[in-house]
Structure 1
């Protein structure tokens, strides 16, 4: 008997052959094959001696070629991504937060030499001023750092510091605790306690073994009234801090102008085992610490701030409806 037919050609009552493979004697072998139910021919395209396809799709088909294109586009976009990252880092350092390195022992035990702190630079842009108890970084008001040794960073360190990827290389900055703001009367008698507006402060952050006030050195005994727009600052290591007490002969009489303040130190970021925030101690929240003028100023400022806070959501709601 002869071969059995498995199908008939179209128009003769049969079905188109599916997936017919070309035999060795087929003159069209290697050029076309039936694929799918519709019987359309798909070009094979062939393979070069080096294993690449003649149709340009690559050895693994169109997906492989698409991956190569994606890799090439990534490398082209990498410089743009780096540029955007650097710009963002610069903006963050300028307007939001900046790292500073602690070079001395004047804020022990709160801060140790070599600590890296992050300083909030955003809130001053909205009119916020330093408050009692905050640890702040400020520019040298009037040559407080005269005679102090200053490191000489290399060009790379300066560049990384400029964009905020390293602690500030600006060596004309200081870090102290605010103990008095505009209108306050700050006083030290004997070994303490330190008094603000007649209220004695309980200062657990003072360096162990130190007294809140220094009795045996010039400048340790004082009574000052802080002018508006200024602050009075002291280090937590009271017997090892050249702060407002010892700069009363400068042009600001030891007070630090508010516009010299860079921002508030909010967290110790490095080393990791010292990672912690820097809150305002409870001693500065005791009743009666504010003067009458400060309370009046707070009442004057509060309504506009609350009104603005309420107006913003309302304006956004109206805009969405429109």
Structure 2
């Protein structure tokens, strides 16, 4: 038998011939070799199983928690956020400490709040009159990711949008939008609708056309709501810096569900009472 040169990459190494017990090659298959070949897939499968061992329970729990937190942040940022009602300004539909959900999808891709929508918005500046207790501990952490209702915002109903002129009131105490009286009796508090604490206008006031990108909002409890009326400039007052408008960029989203307390659970939708309002105010004489 020849021996290949060591280190020769093209060398072909021949295995020694297997002889039979009597010294002759009987050409029979090697049973041991066949057994080794059959066992090879089983051994490989066992090795693969060892490599795919599950993570310890605590590591899986941390991983799942991390995924849940990421999903919660994504949902809060783009889809749904929880808030609570801090006052009686939206009674009787929403009362103090109710928990609500706000969805943001409706105002994507250029969509704007419509008359009749109940919206949550950031304070335009000086609208919040009291200090709300901030969540602490775990509640504070959960509030950052939208899993605990947060404050620091206002909830009101949209009454006027760009170009609308709102006037108070007709003989039945109804708000007029672009000259059309609106029957809000299905959701408004049972009292004269024009009443408004701290407005200084009583039942005789009228707005300028709502500017582009702005909203005029009111609480459903007109007798106890610090809303757009409370931030209107009195006629004859010079150098007034107040503004009744809410910038549409400050709107977080539209309220779509009352989720807590459980016995008050309900869907919240636009009542459609503004459907007959014309798009433009009547021409001035």
The answer to whether the superposition gives a TM-score over 0.5 is yes
Aligned counterpart for 1:84 among listed residues 63, 67, 79: 67
Does 1:200 pair with 2:190? Answer: no
Instruction: Summarize the Cα distance change of 1:251–1:74 in structure 2 as closer, same or farther, 3 Å threshold.
Output: farther
Aligned counterpart for 2:195 among listed residues 214, 238, 241: 214
Of 228-237 and 137-146, more deviation after overlay is shown by: 137-146
CA contact (8 A) 2:168 2:205 kept: yes
Does 1:233 pair with 2:214? Answer: no
Structure 1 segments of 4+ aligned residues over 3 angstroms from their partners: 72-75, 249-252
1:290 aligned partner: 279
1:109 aligned partner: 92
Does 1:244 pair with 2:228? Answer: yes
Return 5+ residue gaps in structure 2 as ranges: 1-45, 234-239
**Per-residue deviation, 1:139:** 0.6
CA contact (8 A) 1:142 1:251 kept: no
**Per-residue deviation, 1:215:** 7.7
**Per-residue deviation, 1:74:** 4.3
Supply the RMSD in Å over aligned alpha carbons: 2.3
Secondary structure of the residue that 2:232 maps to in structure 1? coil
In structure 1, C-alpha distance between the alignment counterparts of 2:72 and 2:268, rounded to whole Å: 23
Higher helix share: 1
In structure 2, C-alpha distance between the alignment counterparts of 1:282 and 1:122, rounded to whole Å: 20
- Superposed CA deviations along residues 219-252 of structure 1, whole A, max 9, x for unmatched, are 3331112111101000000000010000124746
CA contact (8 A) 1:189 1:213 kept: yes
Aligned counterpart for 1:180 among listed residues 160, 167, 170: 160
CA contact (8 A) 2:168 2:175 kept: yes
In structure 2, C-alpha distance between the alignment counterparts of 1:219 and 1:277, rounded to whole Å: 34
1:3 aligned partner: none
- Superposed CA deviations along residues 118-158 of structure 1, whole A, max 9, x for unmatched, are 00122323221110000000111121114x13213213222
In structure 2, C-alpha distance between the alignment counterparts of 1:222 and 1:83, rounded to whole Å: 54
Aligned counterpart for 1:256 among listed residues 246, 249, 255: 246
1:156 aligned partner: 138
2:31 aligned partner: none
2:3 aligned partner: none
Does 1:273 pair with 2:263? Answer: yes
- Superposed CA deviations along residues 2-24 of structure 1, whole A, max 9, x for unmatched, are xxxxxxxxxxxxxxxxxxxxxxx
Secondary structure of the residue that 1:136 maps to in structure 2? strand
Does 1:93 pair with 2:82? Answer: no
In structure 1, C-alpha distance between the alignment counterparts of 2:169 and 2:184, rounded to whole Å: 15
Instruction: Summarize the Cα distance change of 1:252–1:264 in structure 2 as closer, same or farther, 3 Å threshold.
Output: farther
Return 5+ residue gaps in structure 1 as ranges: 1-61, 293-322
- TM normalised by structure 1 equals 0.64
**Per-residue deviation, 1:282:** 2.6
Instruction: Summarize the Cα distance change of 1:215–1:276 in structure 2 as closer, same or farther, 3 Å threshold.
Output: closer
**Per-residue deviation, 1:272:** 1.5
In structure 2, C-alpha distance between the alignment counterparts of 1:257 and 1:228, rounded to whole Å: 9
**Per-residue deviation, 1:114:** 1.0
1:141 aligned partner: 124
CA contact (8 A) 2:184 2:273 kept: yes
Q: How many correspondences in the alignment?
A: 221
Aligned counterpart for 1:121 among listed residues 84, 90, 104: 104
Higher RCO, 1 vs 2 (CA within 8 Å, ≥6 residues apart): 2
In structure 2, C-alpha distance between the alignment counterparts of 1:126 and 1:252, rounded to whole Å: 31
